[in-house]
Amino acid sequence: MGKNFRNALPVMKKKRFGVAFVLTLCLIILPPTNLVQAQVPGMPNLPTPLPTFIGNSVNGSSVSGCIRLDGRCVTQIAANRGELFSRINEVERRLYQISQDYFGQDSAQLNVRSEPSDSVRDIYVAIDQNEIRLMSVTYQDASLNGMTIEQRADQMVRTIERAIERAKRERKPSFLIRQGVISAIALSIILVLTLIGLQLEKRFRQQKQYLHTDPAISSRQLAISTQLTQKQKGQVAEIKHRAMQVILFSLWMGGFFYIIGLFPYTRFVQVIIYTLFRIPIRVGFVILIVYFLVRFSFVLVDKLTGALANNSLLTPEANLRLQLRISTISSVTKSVLILGYIILGTLVSLSLIGVDIGPLLAGAGLIGLAISFASQNLIQDAINGFLIILEDQYAVGDFIGIGQSAGIVEDINLRITRLRDTEGRLVTIPNSEVRTVTNYTSNWSQADIKIPIAYQTDVEQALQIVENINNQISQEWQQEILEKPKLLGVDEFSNQGVIIRIWIKTKPMQQWPIAREYRRQVKAAFDKAGIELALPHQKIWISHHNEEGRKEV
């Protein structure tokens, strides 16, 4: 335990400002007792200015809201939308005046009653002989709970009386001391949980950094299934790290809300914070849900694509091709999921903050139609990109040629394709411009080798040497060569000489290194046998006429 505490000291030092702030805040919010207020005239029992926010609609133009005392909702009342705010403020002002008179007298008698007045019932609150009319119970108030005005008035009389008596009990020194002990215990628990959470957060952060920075893990030379497994671990580590950060933040905010809610003098702060930040809180909650949904979806996509990469039912050629497509399928699927979650989160956020999304969804069709006319190229890019992926025209890692550009596919999504050419340049091509594609590495590749020899060379000897090289290179590159090299024989006669042609079927992307090694071995073998490789040449015939008019060469 002592060793763990010493290890936690550096973290505690980093957090000392936050802890000091919370402790200071707790000292501030601990309310002074009546005795201290009596001794210090500058510490009166100030009113609690609570913001008023409108509740749900009752029936058309009527809305409801809370009457609060010490931050607690005593009862709900209803009124027209334009009158509710002023009515709540007036009732709370009277309730505050009544409660202060009652709190100031230890032996005061409280009496709450109602009596009819025209079409309403008035509620009166008496402190000893001093009686004040608090409010009138209207038909709108009664309709909140489906009661008659008399039933609603009787219910509100009991509720108001209990609320005032409870508020007085909560101002007694014994209650305040007990709440102070509870707040101290709560703060101690929060600190202990924070230390544990900081250790876990540090461990998760280190795991995430290791998975993102370790060269062995991030290497592209690993098998696709291994890469997907490491991506899953990285996503899980990211989820753990962010979840722990959210838990720590929620722990402190929840503890702060709990502690200020223990005392009648500070409970109104809860209402103020919620009223001022209820929209950011709701939107932030949706953002967190969307974030973790995206992360969990990434884990699921990597798991499913990993299962596809390890599918034993496929042929070796099909499985090899599928592994090349895995990264493309994974990246496009993740992009679509992100877009879908963002749209869904936006709609939910608008709904939570009170925006009617029905007309918005109805108008989305018209907006989409207008956007489609304004961005036809983007739509064409998306459609063509979808067809490229569906038809497996090419995938990430393929060497392709599109128009005048050729290179390895580094990235493909629904809008663009990125190629890295032989000079290292990154070429970005909109998918709508992809008309004809030359894929040099789809399923398998082939090295097409042409060997020129002089016309005076013994062709049979040259063919025998080439056949021997075919056997030798098949043994040296047996993992990369799919079939035995095929010697086609003498393919043509050209100005360079006799052309011997060989085809070598290889795995994708292996035709170039095998062809280079094959030519090297041919040159060495021909040099040893005294056979020269032919060079382009031509014969020139010069003719003239002699004195007798005869043509000579």
Alpha helices in 375-509 (DSSP H): 376-390, 459-476
Beta-bridge mates of residue 445: 506
Q: Is the distance from CB of 308 to CB of 322 less than 8 angstroms?
A: yes
Judge contact between 172 and 103, C-beta under 8 A: no
The pLDDT value given to residue 393: 86
DSSP 135: E
Give the pLDDT confidence score for residue 224 in this predicted structure: 63
Question: Quick check: 264 pLDDT over 70?
Answer: yes
Q: Is residue 43 over pLDDT 80? A: no
The whole-angstrom separation of Cα 125 and Cα 131 is 6
**pTM of the complete model:** 0.63
Pairing state between β 405-412 and 110-117: unpaired
**How many distinct helices (H) and strands (E) make up the chain?**
15, 16
DSSP string, 277-298: HHHHHHHHHHHHHHHHHHHHHH
Do 416 and 410 meet the contact criterion of CB atoms below 8 Å apart? Answer: no
Could you count the other beta carbons within 10 Å of the beta carbon of residue 433? 14
Give per-residue pLDDT as tens, 355-379. Answer: 777 776 666 666 666 666 656 777 7
Among 131-135, 334-338, 460-464, the range scoring the smallest mean pLDDT is 334-338
Task: Tell me, rounded to whole angstroms, the distance of Cα 135 from its chain centroid.
Answer: 51
Segments in 398-541 forming alpha helices (H)? 459-476, 511-529
Distance separating alpha carbons of residues 218 and 120, to the nearest angstrom: 75
- Residues 296-316 have a mean pLDDT of 73
CA distances from residue 164 to 23, 44, 110, 127 in whole angstroms, order as listed: 31, 19, 9, 11
Cα–Cα distance, 153 to 132 (Å, whole number): 16
pLDDT tens per residue, range 476-526: 888 888 888 999 888 888 877 888 999 999 888 888 999 999 999 999 999
Is 79:56 a contact under the CB 8 Å cutoff?
no
Which tens digits make up the pLDDT trace of 101-156? 898 888 888 999 999 888 889 999 999 888 899 999 998 888 888 899 999 999 99
Q: How far is CA 183 from the centre of its chain?
A: 37
Quick one: 69 exposed, middle or buried, by C-beta within 10 A (0-12, 13-18, 19+)? buried
Which string of DSSP letters, residue by residue, matches 9-25?
A: HHHHHHTHHHHHHHHHH
Torsion region of 429: left, alpha or beta (phi above 0 gives left; psi -120 to 50 gives alpha):
beta
Spell out a b/e string for 168-198, using b for 16 or more CB atoms within 10 Å of the CB, else e: bebbeeebbeebbeebeebbeebbeebbebb
Q: Is the pLDDT of residue 36 over 50?
A: no
pLDDT in tens, 192-245: 999 999 999 999 998 888 877 655 444 444 566 677 777 888 888 899 999 999
Average pLDDT estimate for 416-420:
90
Q: What are phi and psi for residue 542, nearest 5 degrees? A: -110, 125
Q: What is the pLDDT of residue 31?
A: 41
**Between residues 392 and 290, the one the model is more confident about:** 290
Give all domains of the chain, ordered by start, each with its CATH number: 57-169 (no CATH), 377-439 (2.30.30.60), 445-529 (3.30.70.100)
Q: Of 543 and 409, which is predicted with more confidence?
A: 409
Return the percentage of the chain with pLDDT > 70, whole number: 77
b/e for 4-26, b at 16 or more Cβ within 10 A?
eeeebeeeeeebeeeeeebeeeb
Sign of CA dihedral 184, 187, 193, 199: negative
CA distances from 121 to 142, 150, 153, 326 (A): 11, 7, 7, 73
CA dihedral (96, 98, 104, 109) positive or negative: negative
Residue given tokens 């060379």 in the structure block? 457
